[in-house]
DNA sequence: TGGTTAATTAACTGACCGGTAAATTACGGT
DNA sequence: ACCGTAATTTACCGGTCAGTTAATTAACCA
């Protein structure tokens, strides 16, 4: 994502990573689940019609975005929500608050 | 995105489309630009180190997300911000506010 | 009519994404 | 030591994405 000086640069910017992580219904559902408390990978995977490795990949995306953290208890890897990265994302959006609610007044 | 009954379904859900549109720094910069008023495609493209067709594609992504609309004046196609789709996205995020602090930044 | 400017479309490329199946790692219980 | 369970890694597939160049459409103007 993004191109500078002819060299493609893989988006390292945090906002892009966070929004990209949120751009998938499965991952949002995982965050919703974790909002109710920590859970193991199998517990997280249970409601979804996909294999465990697929869920594992989603968790990796969320982890790289800083939206979850993982501990270790025996062979279980409990995941917990880390909402802090949502703050700058919501902050970016908040600048647009003035535009939603009513139609813009402008002279085209 | 998402799988139902063995058939992969390309994410039609609005939240995913909006977050995906925001997951690119160029597109966010375009929205930032449009927050200051409507602009033509060439005006929008000017600050970016990429070709006009590339910008045109970004605009199409934003348009499909409902985040911009386009008019027509002669050969110019003025774009304007349409912030309404940001509301449900911000609304989804707002549920997590409690996890990153008690301060309220977004209206529900 | 033809020419100029604005913007999109078409065709192509390389990288990434979401998913799978199969193999592998890591730990606990007996 | 072995087996079972939890989870990740590897290798692969088809589709999408961000960008390019070249061709095309659309409108104005002389």
Q: Which nucleotide is nearest to A61 (CA to C1')?
A: C17
Q: How far is the CA of A105 from the C1' of C29 (A)?
A: 70
What pLDDT is recorded for position B66?
A: 97
Nearby residues of B62 by Cβ (< 8 Å), 6 or more positions away: B21, B27, B30, B31, B68
CATH at residue A12: 1.10.10.10
The H or E element spanning position B70 is strand B68-70
**A14 found inside a domain:** yes
User: Which three-class secondary structure state does DSSP give residue B94?
Assistant: helix
What pLDDT is recorded for position A81?
A: 97
A3 sits within 7 Å of strand D by its CB: yes
pLDDT band at A7 (very low <50, low <70, confident <90, very high): very low
If one counts every other C-beta atom within 10 angstroms of the C-beta of residue B26, the result is 20
**A12 found inside a domain:** yes
Q: What is the pLDDT of residues B22-80, one digit of tens each?
A: 999 999 999 999 999 999 999 999 999 999 999 999 999 999 999 999 999 988 999 99
**B107 found inside a domain:** no
Q: What is the pLDDT of residues A35-66, one digit of tens each?
A: 999 999 999 999 999 999 999 999 999 999 99
Residues of B with Cβ-Cβ distance to A19 under 8 angstroms? 19-20, 22-23
Sign of CA dihedral A58, A64, A70, A74: positive
Which residue range(s) make up the domain with B22? 3-100
What pLDDT is recorded for position A103?
A: 53
Residues of A with Cβ-Cβ distance to B25 under 8 angstroms? 1-2, 11, 13, 15-16
Query: By the 8 A CB rule, do A68 and A57 touch?
Result: no
- Does A9 contact chain B (CB < 8 Å)? no
**B71 found inside a domain:** yes
**B106 found inside a domain:** no
- Among all protein residues, pick the one whose CA is nearest to the C1' atom of D15: B10
**A86 found inside a domain:** yes
Shortest Cα–Cα distance, B37 to chain A (Å): 7
Note whether A16 contacts B31, CB cutoff 8 Å. no
**A107 found inside a domain:** no
Mean pLDDT computed over every residue of chain A: 87
**B81 found inside a domain:** yes
- Among all protein residues, pick the one whose CA is nearest to the C1' atom of D6: A75
Residues of B with Cβ-Cβ distance to A57 under 8 angstroms? none
Query: By the 8 A CB rule, do B47 and B32 touch?
Result: no
Q: How far is the CA of A16 from the C1' of D12 (A)?
A: 28
Count: domains in chain A:
1
């Amino acid at each position: 994502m993004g191109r500078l000086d002819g060299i493609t640069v893989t988006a390292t910017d945090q906002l892009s990573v966070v929004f990209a992580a949120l751009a998938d219904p499965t991952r949002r559902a995982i965050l919703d689940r974790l909002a109710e408390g920590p859970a193991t990978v199998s517990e997280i995977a249970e409601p979804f019609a996909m294999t465990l490795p697929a869920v594992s990949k989603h968790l990796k995306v969320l982890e790289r975005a800083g939206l979850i953290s993982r501990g270790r208890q025996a062979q279980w890897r409990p995941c917990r929500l880390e909402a802090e990265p949502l703050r700058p994302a919501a902050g970016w959006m908040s600048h647009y608050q003035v535009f939603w609610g009513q139609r813009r007044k402008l002279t085209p």
